[in-house]
Amino acid sequence: MDVVVPVFNEEAEIADCLAELLKQKKDIGKIIIVDNNSSDETARIVRRLARKNSQIVLLHEKKQGAENARNRGFNYSQADIIGRIDADTRVQAGWCRAAQRFLAEHGECAGCSGMTIYYDLPARRFCDFASWFSVFFTNELVGGNYSFYGANMAIRRADWHKIRHIAKTEKDGKIMEDLSLSIALSQIGRKVGWARDMVSDVSGRRVRTSPLQYYKYNARWWRTYAVYGRPAQAAFTRIICWGSNVLLAVLAVGLRFHDPKTMTWSIRNWRHGFNGRDFQ
């Protein structure tokens, strides 16, 4: 099993991400970091760590966008199973084995995703449930298939090669690239599974963006179904998006008082503004 990590200006996150992966190095072939035009120290940090561990490979993708960096890494891998996480993901113990075991036991599944725990958000149980409901349950309900979650997923290389030229991309519209893979797999009769023991900790920085930024991002959800010519699913998820946008707008405003590093609340934190990542 190889693991692909697309990165763009992740100097604050990448070392910790790799440290957790390397704890499972016996179960990993290569850790493939794909730098997507970072302007900070990300690439230098990865090169330094690669000199100490030959399993780490640094690639570069000039075409901007997470899906382009992901594709570069997926196409490079020669492993039967390709894991994919984000730079702010911290895989839990046994993550690699859980993915491999699940796919060995479920031949009908082309890939899998698992539970995510938001390590820098308050009210973790609520946030974890909201993630499960939106990413997995809702997509199964409306699309008949679980969906990949890009920060915690694995796919069979053989299935990736079957869909890499038919999966919709950013050139087709503003879409969610992980959901796009899931829908493309369903078109060829393949499934995405839910691997209960494939657990990772993920940053909740996405909901720390401004409500407007998050609205623009969340709109990609229903637009992905629309791009695939599924108007009923697009309409249903659009309704859910409106509801979740209101809820997350309230949450984002509240999180301006919260420090994700110390997990403490203070009115002084308000001056830092919305400090999540922007979505291009």
Distance CA 140, CA 26 (A): 33
Q: What global pTM score does this model have?
A: 0.90
Q: What is the pLDDT of residues 23-42, one digit of tens each?
A: 999 999 999 999 999 999 99
Domains of the chain with bracketed CATH: 2-207 (3.90.550.10)
Q: What is the pLDDT of residues 175-234, one digit of tens each?
A: 999 999 999 999 999 999 999 899 999 988 877 788 888 888 889 999 999 999 999 989
Do 147 and 178 touch, CB atoms closer than 8 A? yes
Do 146 and 115 touch, CB atoms closer than 8 A? no
